Amino acid sequence: MDVVDVIRAKRDGRRLTGQQIKWFIDSYTDGSVADYQASALLMAIVWRGMDPDELATWTAVMIESGERMDLSSIAASTVDKHSTGGVGDKVSLPLAPMIAACGAADPMLSGRGLGHTGGTLDKLEAINGYRVDLSPQEMLRILNDVGAVICAAGPGLAPADKKLYALRDVTGTVESIPLIASSIMSKKIAEGTDALVLDVKVGSGAFLPDLAMARELAETMVSLGEAHGVRTSALLTNMDTPLGLSAGNGLEVTEAVAALGGDGPDDLMEVTLALAREMLKLAGVDADPAATIADGSALAKWRAMVSAQDGDPDAAIPQASERTQVVAARSGVLAKLDARAVGIAAWRLGAGRARKEDPVSASAGVVCLKKPGDQVEEGEPVLELHTDEPARIAPALGALEGGIVIEDDPPDPQPLIIERIRA
């Protein structure tokens, strides 16, 4: 096999054979194929795409590059959720314990934030002692004991994806439906759950702001999951406005705990409960997730999960030393609070990272004091910026320019759950 022949085939719009795909991924993973050659093939895929059979093979080989977790020792039905990322998207934090309280098991392998979108692991590390790096044995033990675990994927899970993802990030080859779908699904299928629900965000704060592209990605991922024996569905959810009332690691943990205690904002609860119901349906579990909030069982599962991962559920979450309010420029109705602007502001305050190795602040972020549809008076606070570094305030304010729109009339209501996609 010659890597140049494989590159030429895709460059010229031909379908890669199963043999070519397996050889390329195996050879790139073991270092036989150079980064610059892999980059050329990735760019050809961005241009030419992949047909469904070709993509299914590509994904299967990525899964086979490492281990597939064995969850057969888990007595309960296993189901997970994956979000494509957004601003204020702390859904995973209340969702996993809610699913456990309903009698299913959620082995949630999560990631870190990059740019304006937050990462679940960064949020959880705002909790004193919380450990995200677990061995497979620890993960299975917690899953059996508690029913929920949120941790990082181990190095043995889809190592080909880890290497290809890092290359895509620096070669302008991220924006490709086949490459995004295979990256997400290779990890999620290797996770070994019986069922999977995908939360595909759409809007200004989402990775894919275009509805048609988001729908295509969701349909592609659902097909891949089903083809590999994982019951899969997707919800397209709105990400034009930050979800909930905060964007920032510790701030979102505090909000998630409040939600588990029955004091969650309406939009966060609507999305969380919609995903929970979809997950339980796929898992074959007949239970009402809202009841776990009312009876306190979801909060009890949260505390058990945090403790099992060496965190202290009673420890104070870090608080920022500097707070600055952003006030309304005029009276009227808040018509728009742009999710991307708020996400970039939180990033500039220290809550996010530009490179994977950058540190993040547990206390930095943005609190939404008003949401679209709320009445505001001139000079009334709309947002509160939190940081430990005063020099970060001005860049954050710059990110918010044009992101807060006040008008005389209320905006047209936008649905949070845009569409359900099933096989």
Given 262, 288, 314, the domain boundary residue is 314
Q: Please check whether residues 103 and 152 belong to one and the same domain.
A: yes
Q: Please check whether residues 168 and 303 belong to one and the same domain.
A: yes
Q: Where in 125-208 does DSSP place strands (E)? A: 148-152, 195-202
Q: Please check whether residues 112 and 260 belong to one and the same domain.
A: yes
Q: pLDDT of 9-47, one tens digit each?
A: 999 999 999 999 999 999 999 999 999 999 999 999 999
User: What pLDDT sits at residue 211?
Assistant: 96
Is 187 assigned a catalytic role? Answer: yes
Per the domain annotation, does 422 fall within a domain? no
Instruction: Write down the catalytic residue from 80, 161, 194, 199.
Output: 161
Is 228 assigned a catalytic role? Answer: no
Contact (CB, 8 A) for 46 and 173: yes
Q: What is the mean pLDDT of residues 66-85?
A: 94
Q: Is 406 strand, coil or helix?
A: strand
Q: Please check whether residues 307 and 357 belong to one and the same domain.
A: no
How far apart (Å, rounded) are the C-alpha atoms in residues 216 and 43?
20
Q: Is the pTM of this model over 0.85?
A: yes
Per the domain annotation, does 235 fall within a domain? yes
| Domain assignment of residue 377, given as a range | 322-407
Q: Please check whether residues 127 and 25 belong to one and the same domain.
A: no
Q: Please check whether residues 217 and 197 belong to one and the same domain.
A: yes
Q: Please check whether residues 284 and 348 belong to one and the same domain.
A: no
User: What pLDDT sits at residue 341?
Assistant: 98
Q: Please check whether residues 7 and 87 belong to one and the same domain.
A: no
Query: For the chain, what is the domain count?
Result: 3
Percent of the chain with pLDDT over 90: 90
Per the domain annotation, does 62 fall within a domain? no
**Residue type at 271 in one-letter notation:** V
Q: What is the mean pLDDT of residues 111-132?
A: 90
User: What pLDDT sits at residue 207?
Assistant: 85
Token pair in block for residue 85? 């990322």
Per the domain annotation, does 151 fall within a domain? yes
Q: Please check whether residues 310 and 326 belong to one and the same domain.
A: no
Domain with 146 in it: what CATH number?
A: 3.40.1030.10
pLDDT surpassing 90 at residue 423: no
Q: What is the mean pLDDT of residues 173-188?
A: 92
Q: pLDDT of 219-237, one tens digit each?
A: 999 999 999 999 999 999 9
How far apart (Å, rounded) are the C-alpha atoms in residues 132 and 342?
27
Is 27 assigned a catalytic role? Answer: no
User: What pLDDT sits at residue 418?
Assistant: 98
User: What pLDDT sits at residue 166?
Assistant: 85
Instruction: Write down the catalytic residue from 77, 176, 183, 363.
Output: 183
User: What pLDDT sits at residue 126?
Assistant: 97
Given 272, 296, 314, the domain boundary residue is 314
Domain with 29 in it: what CATH number?
A: 1.20.970.10
Q: Which residue has the tokens 């592209």?
A: 213
Which of 153-157, 300-304, 361-365 shows the lowest per-residue confidence on average (mean pLDDT)? 153-157
Q: What is the mean pLDDT of residues 271-296?
A: 98
pLDDT surpassing 90 at residue 111: no
User: What pLDDT sits at residue 373?
Assistant: 96
Q: φ and ψ at 85, to 5 degrees?
A: 100, 140
Instruction: Write down the catalytic residue from 116, 163, 187, 231.
Output: 187
Q: Please check whether residues 243 and 353 belong to one and the same domain.
A: no
Q: Please check whether residues 290 and 395 belong to one and the same domain.
A: no
Q: Please check whether residues 197 and 263 belong to one and the same domain.
A: yes
Q: What is the mean pLDDT of residues 94-103?
A: 98
Per the domain annotation, does 331 fall within a domain? yes
Instruction: Write down the catalytic residue from 22, 112, 162, 168.
Output: 168
How far apart (Å, rounded) are the C-alpha atoms in residues 164 and 348?
28
Is 161 assigned a catalytic role? Answer: yes
User: What pLDDT sits at residue 172?
Assistant: 87
Per the domain annotation, does 418 fall within a domain? no
Given 279, 314, 349, the domain boundary residue is 314
Across the chain, mean pLDDT equals 95
pLDDT surpassing 80 at residue 420: yes
Q: What is the mean pLDDT of residues 329-337?
A: 98
Per the domain annotation, does 63 fall within a domain? no
pLDDT surpassing 80 at residue 360: yes
Domain with 391 in it: what CATH number?
A: 3.90.1170.30
Is 110 assigned a catalytic role? Answer: no
CB half-sphere exposure, 334, CA atoms < 13 A: 24
Percent of the chain with pLDDT over 70: 100
Per the domain annotation, does 176 fall within a domain? yes
Instruction: Write down the catalytic residue from 10, 22, 81, 82.
Output: 82
